[in-house]
Structure 1
Amino acid sequence: MTVLIHKNKPADVTLLLEGTYPYVHGGVSSWVNQMICGLSHYTFSLVFIGSNPSQYGEMKYKIPDNVVHLEVHYLMEMKKDINSSKERKGHKGNAEAFQKIAQLHKGFREKKFPSAKALAGMLKVLGADKGGVSHEDFLYSEEAWEYILDSYKEFSTDPSFIDYFWTIRTMHAPIFVLDKIARNVPDSQFLHTISTGYAGFLGALISLKHNRKLLISEHGIYTKERKIDLFQADWITDHPDIFAGGGINSDIGYLRQLWVHFFEGLGRVAYESAESIISLYEGNRLRQLDGGADIKKTAVIPNGIQVERFLAARESRSTDIPMVVGLVGRVVSIKDIKTFIRAMHAVCSRIPEAEGWIVGPDSEDEDYANECKSLAVNMGLGDKIRFLGMQNVVEIFPQLGVNVLTSISEALPLVLLEGYASGVPAVATDVGACRELIFGSSQEDKLLGASGEVVPIANPDITAEAIIGLLTNSERWHKCQAVGIERVETFYREKMLFDEYNNIYQRMLEK
């Protein structure tokens, strides 16, 4: 653990941040920074957890003055410390404690989740040196060996016990690290996690150990995003015959399924432990219910932006439609930059003066970024596609004719709202809340009309047609522009977001 800020002041809120603010640019990090600054009458303690330091560089944000504590944990680094801190000694282990863990796993498998009281009893055994299961117990005890062996014999369809054994070890190692963090976390009035996953599970542990209320705000649905990652992961060993006869949702390898169920289980624990569960739009609220969230705990609070920040950008626009197509976002695979590049090939063949600007950091996945740059050159777009890196979007948006998102997963992207406030129509894939942002959410919102086009994922031809349709039809473009401006000014102002969360924070403090 590294403590970077500690002001010896009590915090109202502990924010639990997994792989995001303040070390990563992006929509979630921008939202966290927006919330801390906008709710400046509260003090915040930040607990950042990441995998290992090599994946993160310097902080990308200036920490606001109302942050009184910031500590940083890298799960893989702490795992190494634990593995090397004690001499390896075999011992019996606590059979009763392992039985409680077995009951929790059984509930995950059978979709029969334990009651809050039973869950608390099961979680209490984690990390406990006496009467529980410590990390050393998990690694070296006879009970752990027997439990893993019995589980393999009863449930595993993968032929390799070695792969199964190390999967279980690797999967559960961070749990004991999180338990250690939970035991020593600084004091605050309540907890606010910005995802489920490891951060959500940490919130559940802190809530149990320190009797603090837990609030969950999910942008994307963590379990859904991990499924995408896991289906693509090449570090998971699959038996060669596993994929015969079906798609990835039904016939994935057993070890891959095990990882999926693990993250689903973490999500269930977080939902069960939470006081309130917030999503950005109705589609994600329904996914939360599918993931085990209690409907009485759930609510929808959409993102909001400071519209006034973009008024100068809107006013500085030319009356002509710029033949520049922009994608504002990180250069990572989930944003599907390659589909944007392929779409721009078709756009430029029809509109020779068109350009494609990719505006966002390319350091998060350098291999993917290099592949995208090579693709642009190989398609003859070396002078048409510009990788601009991080830029001030207030200066970029007035130069764009269309604001494009080709992502394969999104929540409620702020970049579309910022584009609307700057007077830029949108073309976006049919993911997350993009359809609601373009065609409207409520009945009142839908009556405004369309502020752009929705396209299928990974379809450069249809994406190109949507872009061309806007750039070459001035009447339609200006109609979409006007709708976007009215939509963001009516339904997505920053003050609405702050008012909603201020009310929730006050309720959490009262409880």
Structure 2
Amino acid sequence: MRIGLLTEGGYPYVSGDARLWCDRLVRGLGQHEFDVYALSRSQHQEDEGWIPLPPNVRRVRTAPLWAVEDDEVILGRRARRRFTECFGELATVLSGASGGAPTAAKGPSEGTSTPEADRFANALYGLAELAREEGGLVGALRSETAVRTLERACRAPGAHRAAREARVPDLLAVAAHLERVLRPLSLDWYEDAGLGAVDLCHAASGGPAVLPGLLARHFTGVPLLVTEYGVRLRTHFLTAPDAPPAVRSLLAAFHGRLAAEAYARAEVVTSGNTHARRWQERCGADREKLRTVYPGMDARPFAEVGESPECADPDTLVWVGRVEPGKDLVSLLHAFAEIRKRQPKTRLRIVGTPAGSEGTAYLGHCRTLAAQLFPDEAEGPHADGDNPVSFEEIGGPELPALADAYASGAVTVLSSVIEGFPISLVEAMLCGRVTVSTDVGAVVEVIGGTGLVVPPRNPRALAEACVALLRDPERRARLGAAARARALELFTVEQNIEAFHGIYLEIVSRAPIRRVVLDEAGAPLPFAVPAEDHVPIRWAAPSPSLVTRDGPGWATGRPVRATTPAPAPAPEGAR
């Protein structure tokens, strides 16, 4: 099987999101071939390069979302009119002037307007067809015409309040965002030698990564699989809280409509947990298409610690993760101050690196707070003892590996106020450690009944749960063993790969054969693709592997030709 893996800011880049997940999937399905179509997010990501690719990756094509040169396409009068009509229809749906939902597409149970979904789809594919005919729409999407069209839609009768109040800077911001997200429309990835040659498109995330899959399905009929470990609409709400209301509303409407279109066209939609699945349903996904496939973790680095239930210090709490405000280490420090009153020997190890400049500032704030909460024990020349709170990173002499961090304590704590799929909890579970965590994201789904859960932003409840486990070693051992068993059953790489392999076969088994095989004379060869075409056995010598790093404009290949030898003539008597 030949799979087109679609990513945005992820695989195969060294610093990409979901890089490990995609790499494990590709390597685990070595019997299949992968063509990777990657959208990069920054110059820094491009400069860092790719991770080593396995031999079953036949081709890699990239395109930037962070910067783009003008395609120098000049639209004629008729093409300009078509662009204005299609982009105007898209803007009208987003502004709500046509009666659509102002912030997100609603699910079927909530009265989704089918004509609204059709209008969005017609506008989207109309722009894609125009881009294909003209050679691109980069200049048009960045033009003053696009901004004025968006403004007319926001001022039209029936537009929702946030759109009507949009100012010129808001309209420019929205137009710039739409141009960036819609750049895949101008790529030449959808010909027979590109995505038209794959058996299945697998979008590894929502947003721009879905667009190549939608267009491949629209132009060549390639089936689409959408995987989301974080729903883009939810990410938009979390990452743009300070944006003007008009910008938030219009972009939320776009991401909601795009998600609904992707869910409607995809054969199967998978989520990493039921928390993301509920968001997908809210955006209009059909429940019959939804599957939950948990992220796969490599259990081998944690095997030695997990099989040895003894901990280095039964009076130590451990926090592991990226240091950022959403992890709410402030509440953890206040909870630890309460824990120290009841268990004076307890220590807290905060293990992690700051996430960007915001994380660095937050780490400094947490260090200052720790020194203020424990002034008599702070480090320094006049201190009476070591501070019970330590801030460390993986790779030092005491914590050379990630598993050593979890092994250094009796209880692993998670204090987040925002969380998707809690990777650190799964790692702690693989190490056989009991956990105390806040009830956010997919936390309850991950730990099941193997740990304690408390409300977020509640230091007192967090302290009481930690004290209860610190005082009961038998309970810690029992819950830790159950946690490890649950993690090995649900959250390993093997179960993730097996689940996607089954989904691939299911989708392809329902998809018709689309490729035309030609004989040596160039004529169509009937019945050239047997049912065994999708069995992972090579009946002929494979073609040379091709991995290129070219951008838009690669050469169009020729149709696939039959490689099996011609049958020998039958004996005279058998004719």
Q: TM-score, normalised by structure 1?
A: 0.79
Q: Is the 8 A contact 1:45 1:68 kept in 2?
A: yes
Q: Is the 8 A contact 2:3 2:34 kept in 1?
A: yes
Displacement, 1:114?
4.8
User: 2-side partners of 1:24 and 1:408: how far apart?
Assistant: 28
- The correspondence of residues 175-214 of structure 1 with structure 2, limited to 5 A, is 175-181=181-187, 183=189, 187-214=197-224
Q: Is the 8 A contact 2:33 2:57 kept in 1?
A: yes
Q: Is the 8 A contact 1:358 1:385 kept in 2?
A: yes
1:468–1:331 CA distance, 2 compared to 1 (3 A): same
Tell me, what secondary structure is at the counterpart of 1:77?
coil
Match of 1:453 in 2: 452
User: 1-side partners of 2:343 and 2:14: how far apart?
Assistant: 35
Displacement, 1:163?
1.9
Matched, 1:468 2:477: no
Which has the larger Rg? Answer: 2
Displacement, 1:376?
1.7
Q: How big is the alpha-carbon RMSD for the aligned residues of Structure 1 and Structure 2? A: 3.4
Pick aligned residue for 2:142 from 139, 142, 153: 139
Match of 1:374 in 2: 365
Displacement, 1:401?
1.8
- One-letter amino acid of the structure 2 residue matched with residue 134 of structure 1: L
Matched, 1:174 2:165: no
Q: Cα deviations across residues 423-454 of structure 1 (Å, max 9, x unaligned)?
A: 1111222123211222x3xxxxxxxxx31111
User: 1-side partners of 2:46 and 2:322: how far apart?
Assistant: 14
Tell me, what secondary structure is at the counterpart of 2:303?
helix
Q: Cα deviations across residues 235-270 of structure 1 (Å, max 9, x unaligned)?
A: x3x4xxxxxxxxxxxxxx232222222221221222
User: 2-side partners of 1:120 and 1:95: how far apart?
Assistant: 18
Q: Cα deviations across residues 140-191 of structure 1 (Å, max 9, x unaligned)?
A: 365x455223223223546453123302321211134221336365653221
Matched, 1:37 2:45: no
Further displaced range: 67-76 or 101-110: 101-110
User: 1-side partners of 2:147 and 2:427: how far apart?
Assistant: 54
Tell me, what secondary structure is at the counterpart of 2:465?
helix
- The correspondence of residues 34-433 of structure 1 with structure 2, limited to 5 A, is 34-54=24-44, 58=48, 61-78=51-68, 81-82=69-70, 86=72, 94-107=80-93, 109=96, 110-111=100-101, 112-114=113-115, 121-126=122-127, 128-129=130-131, 130=133, 134-140=137-143, 142=145, 144=146, 146-154=148-156, 155=159, 157=162, 159=165, 161-181=167-187, 183=189, 187-231=197-241, 233=242, 236=243, 238=244, 253-307=245-299, 309-318=301-310, 322-348=314-340, 350-362=342-354, 364-380=355-371, 383=387, 384-389=389-394, 392-433=401-442
User: 2-side partners of 1:221 and 1:469: how far apart?
Assistant: 36
Q: Is the 8 A contact 1:94 1:131 kept in 2?
A: no
Match of 1:241 in 2: none
- One-letter amino acid of the structure 1 residue matched with residue 18 of structure 2: V
1:87–1:200 CA distance, 2 compared to 1 (3 A): closer
Tell me, what secondary structure is at the counterpart of 1:302?
coil
Match of 2:495 in 1: 496
Displacement, 1:374?
3.3
User: 1-side partners of 2:79 and 2:487: how far apart?
Assistant: 58
Which structure is richer in relative contact order (CA contacts within 8 A, separation 6 or more)?
Answer: 2
Match of 2:481 in 1: 482
Matched, 1:19 2:5: no
- One-letter amino acid of the structure 2 residue matched with residue 394 of structure 1: A
Tell me, what secondary structure is at the counterpart of 1:227?
helix
Q: Is the 8 A contact 1:116 1:273 kept in 2?
A: no
- One-letter amino acid of the structure 2 residue matched with residue 366 of structure 1: S
Displacement, 1:290?
1.2
- One-letter amino acid of the structure 2 residue matched with residue 386 of structure 1: F
- One-letter amino acid of the structure 2 residue matched with residue 161 of structure 1: R
Match of 2:557 in 1: none
Displacement, 1:389?
4.5
- One-letter amino acid of the structure 1 residue matched with residue 186 of structure 2: K
Alignment length (residue pairs): 467
User: 2-side partners of 1:312 and 1:171: how far apart?
Assistant: 48
Tell me, what secondary structure is at the counterpart of 1:122?
helix
Match of 2:545 in 1: none
Further displaced range: 328-337 or 467-476: 328-337
Displacement, 1:199?
1.4
Displacement, 1:388?
0.4
1:87–1:274 CA distance, 2 compared to 1 (3 A): closer
Displacement, 1:119?
6.0
Seq. identity, %: 22
Q: Cα deviations across residues 378-417 of structure 1 (Å, max 9, x unaligned)?
A: 4317742323057632333222322222333333334322
- One-letter amino acid of the structure 2 residue matched with residue 385 of structure 1: S
Q: Is the 8 A contact 1:357 1:385 kept in 2?
A: yes
Displacement, 1:361?
4.1
Displacement, 1:277?
0.2
- One-letter amino acid of the structure 1 residue matched with residue 497 of structure 2: F
Q: Is the 8 A contact 1:42 1:66 kept in 2?
A: yes
Displacement, 1:344?
3.8
- One-letter amino acid of the structure 2 residue matched with residue 369 of structure 1: T
Further displaced range: 274-283 or 326-335: 326-335
- The correspondence of residues 438-449 of structure 1 with structure 2, limited to 5 A, is 438=447, 440=448
Q: TM-score, normalised by structure 2?
A: 0.71
Match of 1:7 in 2: none
Q: Is the 8 A contact 2:93 2:120 kept in 1?
A: no
Q: Is the 8 A contact 2:454 2:461 kept in 1?
A: yes
Displacement, 1:419?
1.6
Q: Is the 8 A contact 1:97 1:131 kept in 2?
A: no
User: 2-side partners of 1:371 and 1:90: how far apart?
Assistant: 53
Displacement, 1:278?
0.7
Tell me, what secondary structure is at the counterpart of 1:407?
coil
User: 2-side partners of 1:21 and 1:463: how far apart?
Assistant: 37
User: 1-side partners of 2:73 and 2:507: how far apart?
Assistant: 44
- One-letter amino acid of the structure 2 residue matched with residue 396 of structure 1: A
- One-letter amino acid of the structure 1 residue matched with residue 392 of structure 2: F
Tell me, what secondary structure is at the counterpart of 1:326?
strand
- One-letter amino acid of the structure 2 residue matched with residue 459 of structure 1: N
User: 1-side partners of 2:227 and 2:486: how far apart?
Assistant: 23
Q: Cα deviations across residues 436-478 of structure 1 (Å, max 9, x unaligned)?
A: 222x3xxxxxxxxx31111223333332332232223213212
1:58–1:475 CA distance, 2 compared to 1 (3 A): same
Q: Is the 8 A contact 1:134 1:176 kept in 2?
A: no
Q: Is the 8 A contact 1:326 1:404 kept in 2?
A: yes
